[in-house]
Amino acid sequence: MKLQHATFGIVLAIFGSAFAFGQVGPAYGAHVPQFVTTGQVVNASSLSMSTPPITLTMPGSAWMKVWFGGADLPNGSFVRVEGILDGFHQDLDVDAYEKWEGTSCYFNGDSVRVSLQLPPFSTGFVTISGVDAGFPSVVGIDSICGATDDRVPTAETRIGRLLNSGGSAICSGGLISANGVFMTAGHCIGGNQYTVEFNCPPSTVSGAVVHPSPINQYPADSASLAYTNGGIGNDWAAFRLFSNTTSGLSAPSVQGFYNRATSIPLIGSTTRISGFGTGAGVQNQAPTTHTGGLSLVSGTRLEYTVDTTGGNSGSCVVNEASQLVFGIHTNAGCTASGGANSGTSILNSGLQAHLATIIQVPGIHQVSVSQIGAAGNPITVAVTDAPPFSEVVNALSFVTTQPLGTGPFFGLGAGAGSGDLFFPFTLPVGVAPFHVMVDGSGDFSVTIPSAGSFGTFTFDIVSIAFNPSIGYAGYLGRSAVVRATIVL
């Protein structure tokens, strides 16, 4: 299959300037056009082959991202991009190439290698059209509420760093649904390719961003994007993320997601904003957080006394008590002597209308584990009302909790040594009752003979349904988490 991708010019402008106090981060990189190609490569052997690597170097660059001008990738082939500094690599087959819109993810350091991997008896090529190269960014517009910056580092998993093509701005945002919807500010939208990074490391001492591994970088589904850049109270954007093209997992299955508020908290409620605002040294556009009070609700305009800086635009505005997201941070306004920062309510009608089109309403089916009698009697695992013809994974954990329905694997308890949670996902389809395909009824039941007298076991189990045509990216619904006790 032949793929083409247009190049674009050097981008250095900071977008979003129509609103002087919008809090996008400053420019942190630039696009540098190049032209290198493998030419048409023929593999006439019965073994897979790799072309000699093309090394791309931008001396002094903190990081690099590769842009491709086109590729011919037959079935079984892929482009491998490797960061020389960290040793991380990304493999782009036809599907991944299209989802990344003809680009790679981000690699730390000033050099990357690119090679083409071809299966036996095939031909193909890849062309490089340019690279994005990174540099330390200057501190953006501050909006610290009071005399000191009280933000602290955070390990919050649900927030992501939004990077636009060309390196012209950094923004923040958060996951808000089980099918990977990412919400941010409308004035953060610019360029023609978007990457969201999670679990971001501290920056370098000089303030250059450090990118996480490819397994923590997700391309945006641009077809699902809608946004409005209409000023405070009407400044929003939302889109779905594709599953990670290295792990195959969706962002919310790994990172969790915020539940959305249906009403706005009372004035004075403790409000948290976590994101990637500018700061000194290692905290520059690395994950930080702060809380303050909600000070104003006027229509869909929100104001609060929470410290933010440039790059915090798009951060979820969260009610600390309920952990529900009720807004999007967009604008500066705090000073050392007063004022407030501001954002857009999640109840904005345009935002709500778009979310209704891109957030799947999860289906709820049932899972049960039953055993009649004592040790040695059979154990029955049953699923009912799952989506017809779906792929169903029944995951369990012997680390029992009080699940909330969010977080990794939708709240199912996990802990050290809890491999029980993960092994159903790696078993091939057909290993009942853990990984099965249901028929048009959406039901199945498997009875398992007991193995003998080993004692009483209590565990949590959840049943998760996926669209088998697109794997874990196609989340369709889940059961409630059920606690079961059996005697073996």
- Give the integer Cα–Cα distance in Å for 467 and 5: 29
- Give the integer Cα–Cα distance in Å for 312 and 315: 6
Strand partners, 116: 79
**Is there a contact between 391 and 444 (Cβ–Cβ < 8 Å)?**
no
- Give the integer Cα–Cα distance in Å for 198 and 174: 10
Strand 379-384 with 482-487, pairing: unpaired
Fill in the amino acid letter for 206: S
- pLDDT score at 14: 25
- pLDDT score at 407: 47
Give the SS3 label for residue 409.
helix
- pLDDT score at 371: 84
- pLDDT score at 9: 28
- Domain map of the chain by residue range? 29-134, 152-358, 363-487
- Give the integer Cα–Cα distance in Å for 418 and 416: 5
- List per-residue pLDDT tens for the chain, 488 residues long: 555 433 322 222 222 322 335 667 666 788 899 999 999 999 999 999 999 999 999 999 999 999 999 999 999 999 999 999 999 999 999 999 999 999 999 999 999 999 999 999 999 999 999 999 987 766 656 789 999 999 999 999 999 999 987 666 789 999 998 789 999 999 999 877 899 999 999 999 988 899 999 999 999 999 999 999 999 999 999 999 999 999 988 898 889 899 899 999 999 999 999 999 999 899 999 999 999 999 999 999 999 999 999 999 999 999 999 999 999 999 999 999 999 999 999 999 999 999 988 886 556 788 999 887 666 688 899 999 888 888 899 988 777 665 544 444 555 655 545 566 667 777 888 888 889 988 888 888 998 876 666 678 888 888 888 877 666 657 778 887 788 888 87
Phi/psi of residue 188, each to 5°?
Answer: -85, -10
* CATH number belonging to domain 152-358: 2.40.10.120
- pLDDT score at 477: 80
- Give the integer Cα–Cα distance in Å for 63 and 80: 17
* CATH number belonging to domain 363-487: 2.20.130.20
Strand 217-219 with 63-72, pairing: unpaired
Does the domain formed by 29-134 have CATH 1.10.357? no
Neighbours of 357 (CB within 10 A): 9
- Give the integer Cα–Cα distance in Å for 348 and 343: 11
